[in-house]
Structure 1
Amino acid sequence: MALKRGDIIPNFSLKDQNNEEFDSSSIIGQKPVIIYFYPKNFTPGCTKEACQFRDTYQDFQDYGAEVIGISNDSQKSHQKFAQKHELPFILLSDSQNKVRKKFGVKKSLLGMVPGRETFVVDKNGQLIYRFNSLDASKHMKKALKVIKDL
Protein backbone atom coordinates (compact mmCIF):
# COMPACT_ATOMS: atom_id res chain seq x y z
CA MET A 1 0.00 0.00 0.00
CA ALA A 2 1.37 3.40 -0.97
CA LEU A 3 2.21 6.02 1.63
CA LYS A 4 0.04 9.09 1.50
CA ARG A 5 0.30 12.58 2.89
CA GLY A 6 0.03 12.57 6.67
CA ASP A 7 1.35 9.02 7.07
CA ILE A 8 4.26 8.36 9.40
CA ILE A 9 7.28 7.03 7.50
CA PRO A 10 7.95 3.35 8.29
CA ASN A 11 11.26 2.43 9.88
CA PHE A 12 13.77 0.71 7.64
CA SER A 13 17.38 -0.37 7.63
CA LEU A 14 19.66 -0.60 4.58
CA LYS A 15 23.37 -0.56 3.76
CA ASP A 16 24.83 2.77 2.64
CA GLN A 17 27.55 3.52 0.08
CA ASN A 18 30.19 2.83 2.75
CA ASN A 19 28.72 -0.63 3.43
CA GLU A 20 27.51 0.55 6.84
CA GLU A 21 24.06 -0.19 8.22
CA PHE A 22 21.77 2.84 8.07
CA ASP A 23 18.78 2.86 10.41
CA SER A 24 16.09 5.35 9.39
CA SER A 25 15.24 6.10 13.04
CA SER A 26 18.63 7.85 13.33
CA ILE A 27 17.26 10.68 11.15
CA ILE A 28 13.51 10.27 10.57
CA GLY A 29 11.64 12.01 13.35
CA GLN A 30 14.71 14.13 14.17
CA LYS A 31 14.80 16.53 11.21
CA PRO A 32 13.17 17.04 7.80
CA VAL A 33 14.28 14.45 5.26
CA ILE A 34 14.07 14.18 1.49
CA ILE A 35 14.05 10.56 0.38
CA TYR A 36 14.31 10.11 -3.34
CA PHE A 37 14.03 6.77 -5.10
CA TYR A 38 15.70 6.53 -8.48
CA PRO A 39 16.15 3.78 -11.09
CA LYS A 40 19.91 3.28 -11.57
CA ASN A 41 23.34 4.77 -10.91
CA PHE A 42 25.28 6.24 -13.85
CA THR A 43 22.28 6.61 -16.17
CA PRO A 44 21.80 10.11 -17.64
CA GLY A 45 18.59 10.98 -15.77
CA CYS A 46 19.72 9.57 -12.44
CA THR A 47 23.11 11.28 -12.70
CA LYS A 48 21.39 14.58 -13.47
CA GLU A 49 19.04 14.16 -10.50
CA ALA A 50 21.87 13.23 -8.09
CA CYS A 51 23.98 16.17 -9.25
CA GLN A 52 21.06 18.57 -8.78
CA PHE A 53 20.65 17.34 -5.20
CA ARG A 54 24.43 17.66 -4.76
CA ASP A 55 24.48 21.22 -6.09
CA THR A 56 21.69 22.29 -3.71
CA TYR A 57 22.67 20.05 -0.79
CA GLN A 58 23.87 23.02 1.25
CA ASP A 59 20.48 24.71 0.74
CA PHE A 60 18.75 21.64 2.17
CA GLN A 61 21.25 21.60 5.05
CA ASP A 62 20.60 25.30 5.70
CA TYR A 63 16.93 24.41 6.23
CA GLY A 64 17.96 21.60 8.60
CA ALA A 65 17.07 18.84 6.14
CA GLU A 66 18.90 15.69 5.07
CA VAL A 67 18.85 14.10 1.61
CA ILE A 68 18.81 10.33 1.06
CA GLY A 69 18.93 8.61 -2.34
CA ILE A 70 17.72 5.01 -2.68
CA SER A 71 18.04 2.58 -5.58
CA ASN A 72 18.53 -1.16 -5.91
CA ASP A 73 22.18 -0.71 -6.96
CA SER A 74 24.84 -2.39 -4.81
CA GLN A 75 26.81 -0.55 -2.11
CA LYS A 76 29.89 -0.81 -4.34
CA SER A 77 28.04 0.85 -7.23
CA HIS A 78 26.78 3.56 -4.86
CA GLN A 79 30.30 4.15 -3.61
CA LYS A 80 31.64 4.61 -7.16
CA PHE A 81 28.66 6.83 -8.09
CA ALA A 82 29.11 9.00 -4.98
CA GLN A 83 32.86 9.32 -5.54
CA LYS A 84 32.63 10.10 -9.24
CA HIS A 85 30.00 12.81 -8.77
CA GLU A 86 31.15 14.00 -5.31
CA LEU A 87 27.77 13.29 -3.73
CA PRO A 88 27.71 14.49 -0.10
CA PHE A 89 24.51 12.74 0.93
CA ILE A 90 23.52 9.19 1.88
CA LEU A 91 22.93 6.60 -0.83
CA LEU A 92 21.17 3.41 0.24
CA SER A 93 21.10 0.03 -1.45
CA ASP A 94 17.61 -1.47 -1.58
CA SER A 95 18.63 -4.56 -3.57
CA GLN A 96 15.51 -6.52 -2.53
CA ASN A 97 13.20 -3.52 -3.16
CA LYS A 98 11.81 -3.92 0.38
CA VAL A 99 11.85 -0.20 1.20
CA ARG A 100 10.58 0.70 -2.26
CA LYS A 101 7.59 -1.57 -1.54
CA LYS A 102 7.07 -0.10 1.96
CA PHE A 103 6.80 3.35 0.38
CA GLY A 104 4.62 2.11 -2.48
CA VAL A 105 6.96 3.23 -5.27
CA LYS A 106 5.73 1.64 -8.48
CA LYS A 107 7.74 0.72 -11.55
CA SER A 108 7.60 2.97 -14.61
CA LEU A 109 7.75 2.45 -18.36
CA LEU A 110 5.33 -0.48 -18.53
CA GLY A 111 6.76 -1.97 -15.34
CA MET A 112 10.27 -2.33 -16.74
CA VAL A 113 12.09 0.46 -14.86
CA PRO A 114 12.17 1.07 -11.09
CA GLY A 115 10.15 4.21 -10.37
CA ARG A 116 11.50 7.69 -9.70
CA GLU A 117 9.72 9.20 -6.72
CA THR A 118 10.57 11.79 -4.08
CA PHE A 119 9.19 11.97 -0.54
CA VAL A 120 9.50 14.98 1.76
CA VAL A 121 9.19 14.13 5.44
CA ASP A 122 8.84 16.69 8.22
CA LYS A 123 10.86 16.66 11.45
CA ASN A 124 8.17 14.54 13.13
CA GLY A 125 8.53 11.74 10.57
CA GLN A 126 5.28 12.59 8.77
CA LEU A 127 5.01 12.50 4.97
CA ILE A 128 4.14 16.00 3.78
CA TYR A 129 4.82 15.71 0.05
CA ARG A 130 5.12 12.96 -2.53
CA PHE A 131 6.15 13.51 -6.15
CA ASN A 132 6.31 10.89 -8.89
CA SER A 133 7.77 11.71 -12.31
CA LEU A 134 10.25 10.10 -14.66
CA ASP A 135 11.50 13.64 -15.42
CA ALA A 136 14.57 13.78 -13.16
CA SER A 137 14.92 17.57 -13.47
CA LYS A 138 11.81 18.35 -11.40
CA HIS A 139 12.42 16.37 -8.20
CA MET A 140 15.04 18.55 -6.49
CA LYS A 141 13.17 21.79 -7.30
CA LYS A 142 9.87 20.51 -5.90
CA ALA A 143 11.54 19.09 -2.77
CA LEU A 144 13.46 22.30 -2.09
CA LYS A 145 10.30 24.41 -2.44
CA VAL A 146 8.47 22.21 0.07
CA ILE A 147 11.41 22.39 2.54
CA LYS A 148 11.57 26.20 2.18
CA ASP A 149 7.86 26.44 2.96
CA LEU A 150 8.14 24.38 6.18
Structure 2
Amino acid sequence: MASGPEIGSVAPDFTLPGGTLTDDGFVRRDHTLSAARGRAVVLAFYPGDNTAVCTRQLCSYSSGLETFEGLDAEVWGISPQDVDSHESFARAHDLRMPLLADTGREIARAYKVAAPGIGVRRSVFLIGPDGVLRWKHVALLGATFQSLGTLAEHLSDIKNG
Protein backbone atom coordinates (compact mmCIF):
# COMPACT_ATOMS: atom_id res chain seq x y z
CA MET A 1 0.00 0.00 0.00
CA ALA A 2 1.36 3.44 -0.93
CA SER A 3 1.81 5.88 1.93
CA GLY A 4 -0.33 8.67 0.48
CA PRO A 5 0.29 12.38 0.86
CA GLU A 6 3.37 13.21 2.90
CA ILE A 7 3.41 15.25 6.08
CA GLY A 8 4.45 18.79 5.15
CA SER A 9 2.98 18.65 1.64
CA VAL A 10 -0.12 20.47 0.45
CA ALA A 11 -3.11 18.18 0.95
CA PRO A 12 -4.80 17.01 -2.27
CA ASP A 13 -7.70 19.37 -2.95
CA PHE A 14 -11.16 18.06 -3.72
CA THR A 15 -14.83 18.92 -3.93
CA LEU A 16 -17.40 16.39 -2.72
CA PRO A 17 -21.16 16.51 -2.21
CA GLY A 18 -22.29 16.18 1.36
CA GLY A 19 -24.60 17.38 4.04
CA THR A 20 -24.71 18.63 7.59
CA LEU A 21 -27.45 18.03 10.13
CA THR A 22 -28.58 21.34 11.66
CA ASP A 23 -31.50 22.38 13.84
CA ASP A 24 -33.32 23.29 10.60
CA GLY A 25 -32.75 19.96 8.83
CA PHE A 26 -30.09 18.29 6.71
CA VAL A 27 -28.36 20.95 4.62
CA ARG A 28 -26.83 19.59 1.42
CA ARG A 29 -23.96 21.33 -0.37
CA ASP A 30 -20.60 20.71 -1.97
CA HIS A 31 -17.52 20.90 0.26
CA THR A 32 -14.17 22.00 -1.19
CA LEU A 33 -11.05 21.51 0.90
CA SER A 34 -9.25 24.60 -0.41
CA ALA A 35 -12.29 26.75 0.48
CA ALA A 36 -11.72 25.84 4.16
CA ARG A 37 -8.28 27.53 4.22
CA GLY A 38 -7.80 29.60 7.32
CA ARG A 39 -9.07 26.81 9.60
CA ALA A 40 -7.69 23.38 10.34
CA VAL A 41 -9.67 20.49 8.85
CA VAL A 42 -9.90 16.96 10.21
CA LEU A 43 -10.61 14.55 7.35
CA ALA A 44 -12.01 11.35 8.88
CA PHE A 45 -12.29 8.62 6.25
CA TYR A 46 -14.53 5.79 7.44
CA PRO A 47 -15.72 2.56 5.77
CA GLY A 48 -19.48 2.89 6.18
CA ASP A 49 -22.57 4.53 7.61
CA ASN A 50 -24.38 2.66 10.38
CA THR A 51 -21.58 0.21 11.13
CA ALA A 52 -20.52 -0.37 14.74
CA VAL A 53 -17.04 1.18 14.83
CA CYS A 54 -17.89 3.98 12.40
CA THR A 55 -20.93 4.93 14.47
CA ARG A 56 -18.88 5.06 17.69
CA GLN A 57 -16.15 7.08 15.95
CA LEU A 58 -18.42 9.69 14.41
CA CYS A 59 -20.61 9.97 17.51
CA SER A 60 -17.42 10.64 19.50
CA TYR A 61 -16.31 13.35 17.09
CA SER A 62 -19.79 14.89 16.87
CA SER A 63 -20.17 15.06 20.65
CA GLY A 64 -16.73 16.72 20.78
CA LEU A 65 -17.42 19.41 18.18
CA GLU A 66 -16.96 22.14 20.81
CA THR A 67 -13.41 20.87 21.38
CA PHE A 68 -12.69 21.03 17.65
CA GLU A 69 -14.29 24.48 17.40
CA GLY A 70 -12.13 25.67 20.30
CA LEU A 71 -9.08 24.64 18.28
CA ASP A 72 -10.43 26.46 15.19
CA ALA A 73 -10.92 23.17 13.34
CA GLU A 74 -13.68 21.56 11.29
CA VAL A 75 -14.33 17.82 11.09
CA TRP A 76 -15.46 16.24 7.83
CA GLY A 77 -16.47 12.58 7.64
CA ILE A 78 -15.83 10.93 4.25
CA SER A 79 -17.10 7.54 3.10
CA PRO A 80 -18.24 5.84 -0.12
CA GLN A 81 -21.97 5.99 0.71
CA ASP A 82 -24.18 8.56 -1.01
CA VAL A 83 -25.61 11.71 0.54
CA ASP A 84 -29.01 10.06 1.14
CA SER A 85 -27.28 7.40 3.26
CA HIS A 86 -25.35 10.12 5.11
CA GLU A 87 -28.56 11.98 5.87
CA SER A 88 -30.16 8.86 7.36
CA PHE A 89 -26.98 8.13 9.37
CA ALA A 90 -26.73 11.72 10.66
CA ARG A 91 -30.39 11.83 11.67
CA ALA A 92 -30.23 8.44 13.42
CA HIS A 93 -27.22 9.43 15.54
CA ASP A 94 -27.51 13.26 15.70
CA LEU A 95 -24.20 13.69 13.86
CA ARG A 96 -23.55 17.42 13.42
CA MET A 97 -20.43 17.47 11.22
CA PRO A 98 -20.44 17.42 7.42
CA LEU A 99 -20.61 13.90 5.97
CA LEU A 100 -19.21 13.76 2.44
CA ALA A 101 -19.97 11.23 -0.28
CA ASP A 102 -16.93 9.81 -2.09
CA THR A 103 -19.04 7.29 -4.02
CA GLY A 104 -16.40 6.63 -6.67
CA ARG A 105 -13.61 6.57 -4.05
CA GLU A 106 -11.58 9.08 -6.10
CA ILE A 107 -10.62 11.07 -3.00
CA ALA A 108 -9.87 7.89 -1.04
CA ARG A 109 -7.50 6.93 -3.88
CA ALA A 110 -5.90 10.41 -3.86
CA TYR A 111 -5.21 9.99 -0.14
CA LYS A 112 -4.16 6.34 -0.67
CA VAL A 113 -6.81 4.94 1.69
CA ALA A 114 -8.98 3.04 -0.82
CA ALA A 115 -8.99 -0.64 0.10
CA PRO A 116 -10.34 -3.73 -1.63
CA GLY A 117 -13.23 -5.36 0.19
CA ILE A 118 -13.89 -2.65 2.77
CA GLY A 119 -13.81 0.26 0.31
CA VAL A 120 -11.95 2.74 2.52
CA ARG A 121 -9.41 2.35 5.32
CA ARG A 122 -10.30 4.12 8.55
CA SER A 123 -7.96 7.14 8.42
CA VAL A 124 -7.56 10.62 9.79
CA PHE A 125 -5.70 13.47 8.11
CA LEU A 126 -5.15 16.78 9.92
CA ILE A 127 -4.84 19.65 7.47
CA GLY A 128 -3.45 22.93 8.78
CA PRO A 129 -5.09 26.30 8.09
CA ASP A 130 -2.55 26.74 5.27
CA GLY A 131 -3.77 23.58 3.49
CA VAL A 132 -0.66 21.59 4.44
CA LEU A 133 -0.95 18.04 5.80
CA ARG A 134 0.29 18.16 9.41
CA TRP A 135 -0.53 14.68 10.79
CA LYS A 136 -2.11 11.43 9.62
CA HIS A 137 -3.07 8.00 10.82
CA VAL A 138 -4.09 5.20 8.45
CA ALA A 139 -5.42 2.06 10.15
CA LEU A 140 -4.45 -1.31 8.76
CA LEU A 141 -7.47 -3.12 10.20
CA GLY A 142 -9.80 -0.32 11.24
CA ALA A 143 -11.24 -1.95 14.35
CA THR A 144 -10.33 1.11 16.42
CA PHE A 145 -10.19 4.83 15.73
CA GLN A 146 -8.21 7.87 16.81
CA SER A 147 -9.76 9.41 19.92
CA LEU A 148 -11.01 12.95 20.32
CA GLY A 149 -8.21 13.52 22.85
CA THR A 150 -5.50 12.39 20.43
CA LEU A 151 -6.85 14.58 17.65
CA ALA A 152 -7.22 17.57 20.01
CA GLU A 153 -3.61 17.17 21.13
CA HIS A 154 -2.34 17.17 17.54
CA LEU A 155 -4.62 20.08 16.57
CA SER A 156 -3.35 22.05 19.56
CA ASP A 157 0.22 21.46 18.35
CA ILE A 158 -0.78 22.69 14.87
CA LYS A 159 -2.50 25.78 16.29
CA ASN A 160 0.40 26.65 18.59
CA GLY A 161 3.17 25.39 16.41
Q: Specify if TM > 0.5.
A: yes
- 1:5 corresponds, among 4, 7, 11, to 7
Please give the alpha-carbon distance, in whole angstroms, between the structure 2 residues aligned to 1:59 and 1:141.
Answer: 9
Q: 1:136 — aligned with what?
A: 144
Confirm or deny that 1:84 pairs with 2:92: yes
Q: 2:57 — aligned with what?
A: 49
The TM-score normalised by the length of structure 2 is: 0.85
In the alignment, structure 1 segments of 5+ residues that lack a partner are none
Asked whether the equivalents of residues 67 and 89 of structure 1 are also in contact (C-alpha less than 8 Å), the reply is: yes
SS in 1 for 2:146: helix
Question: 1:148: Cα distance to partner?
Answer: 2.0
| Alignment deviations for residues 87-145 of structure 1 (CA, whole Å, 9 cap, x no partner) | 111110000001111111142xxx32121000001110110101022133434332221
| Alignment deviations for residues 64-94 of structure 1 (CA, whole Å, 9 cap, x no partner) | 0000000000100001111111111111000
Please give the alpha-carbon distance, in whole angstroms, between the structure 1 residues aligned to 2:14 and 2:145.
Answer: 27
Please give the alpha-carbon distance, in whole angstroms, between the structure 2 residues aligned to 1:141 and 1:112.
Answer: 30
The TM-score normalised by the length of structure 1 is: 0.90
In the alignment, structure 2 segments of 5+ residues that lack a partner are 20-26
What is the correspondence of 1:59-98 to structure 2 with a 5 Å cutoff? Answer: 59-98=67-106
Please give the alpha-carbon distance, in whole angstroms, between the structure 2 residues aligned to 1:119 and 1:140.
Answer: 13
Please give the alpha-carbon distance, in whole angstroms, between the structure 2 residues aligned to 1:62 and 1:131.
Answer: 22
Question: 1:19: Cα distance to partner?
Answer: 3.8
Question: 1:55: Cα distance to partner?
Answer: 1.4
Asked whether the equivalents of residues 9 and 126 of structure 1 are also in contact (C-alpha less than 8 Å), the reply is: yes
What is the correspondence of 1:108-147 to structure 2 with a 5 Å cutoff? Answer: 111-113=116-118, 114-133=120-139, 134-147=142-155
Question: 1:21: Cα distance to partner?
Answer: 1.8
Asked whether the equivalents of residues 118 and 139 of structure 1 are also in contact (C-alpha less than 8 Å), the reply is: no
Letter in 2 for 1:48: R
Please give the alpha-carbon distance, in whole angstroms, between the structure 2 residues aligned to 1:125 and 1:141.
Answer: 22
Confirm or deny that 1:20 pairs with 2:29: yes
Please give the alpha-carbon distance, in whole angstroms, between the structure 2 residues aligned to 1:102 and 1:130.
Answer: 14
Go from structure 1 to structure 2 and tell me whether the alpha carbon gap of 1:139 and 1:4 turns closer, same or farther (over 3 Å shift): farther
Please give the alpha-carbon distance, in whole angstroms, between the structure 2 residues aligned to 1:41 and 1:116.
Answer: 12
Give the share of equivalent positions with the same residue, in percent. Answer: 24
Please report the RMSD computed on the Cα atoms of aligned residues, expressed in angstroms.
1.4
Equivalences, count: 146
